[in-house]
Chains A and B, each alone.
Chain A
Amino acid sequence: DQQVKQNSPSLSVQEGRISILNCDYTNSMFDYFLWYKKYPAEGPTFLISISSIKDKNEDGRFTVFLNKSAKHLSLHIVPSQPGDSAVYFCAAGGGSQGNLIFGKGTKLSVKP
């Protein structure tokens, strides 16, 4: 039973354009959401997070949006750069979990 879903296994975007990565969750007890970036043969690297009391958090080129009523969050990368090409994992925590629950990841390819 996947509590965190990333329905797009891959996404291809042109350099300079916006990348939008989506994530859905089912557990309304989640109160903390994170995005991680992962390069091959490396561990996931924390990118940005958002608390359930907010609907937007911005850090440079990265913005995370949270829609609690829809149980949906998204990561926007503007402008996209070739170095952003990686697998992006959405994760959620809080409630009774005590740990992070990860989505399956979306592989982003940014083409020059």
Chain B
Amino acid sequence: DTAVSQTPKYLVTQMGNDKSIKCEQNLGHDTMYWYKQDSKKFLKIMFSYNNKELIINETVPNRFSPKSPDKAHLNLHINSLELGDSAVYFCASSQVRDQPQHFGDGTRLSIL
């Protein structure tokens, strides 16, 4: 029973394409997150979202947009992919902010 699952695990695509990464959590948590782990291994928050509020890290380009069809899902859409978008993207969830977050296994995005 995977608590936080994200698909696909690997994504290889061309520059300029639009792609989505899906995330689902079965923990009943109210808050979900997207993180980016870049080549320097820093885990940086991109978005946090609950059913009331979306908080966007101001450094995230507007080509990135989270979409939440319901409380258990937070998908990440990326438009016009660029080389610098290559990274591992992690989805996470928690009951409330600042509580232990549960992470998915990551999606490794490679831009050719």
Residues of A within 8 A of B (CB): 32, 34, 36, 41-46, 49, 87, 89, 93-94, 98-102, 104-105
- CB pair B102 A104 closer than 8 Å: no
Answer whether residue B60 sits at the interface, using C-beta atoms and an 8 A cutoff. no
- Interface contact tally, CB-CB below 8 A: 48
Against A, the Cβ 8 Å flags (1 = close, 0 = not) of B28-60 are 000001010000111111001000000100000
Beta-carbon contact of B100 and A98 below 8 Å: no
**CB distance A94 to B106 under 8 Å?**
no
Which residues of chain B have a CB within 8 Å of any CB of chain A?
4, 33, 35, 40-45, 48, 55, 90, 92, 97-98, 100-106
Q: How far is the CB of B64 from chain A (nearest CB, A)?
A: 16
Contact check, B98 vs A102: say whether CB atoms are below 8 A apart: no
* B41→A105 contact, CB < 8 A: yes
Q: Which of B97, B100, B103 contacts A49 (CB 8 A)?
A: B100
The 10 residue pairs across chains A and B that have the minimum distance between CB atoms: A43-B103, A102-B43, A46-B100, A93-B98, A99-B45, A43-B105, A44-B103, A32-B98, A43-B104, A42-B105
A-B contact pairs, 30 of them (CB 8 A): A32-B98, A34-B100, A42-B105, A42-B106, A43-B90, A43-B92, A43-B103, A43-B104, A43-B105, A45-B103, A46-B100, A49-B100, A87-B41, A89-B43, A93-B98, A98-B48, A98-B55, A98-B98, A99-B33, A99-B48, A99-B55, A99-B97, A100-B45, A100-B101, A101-B45, A102-B35, A102-B42, A104-B40, A104-B41, A105-B41
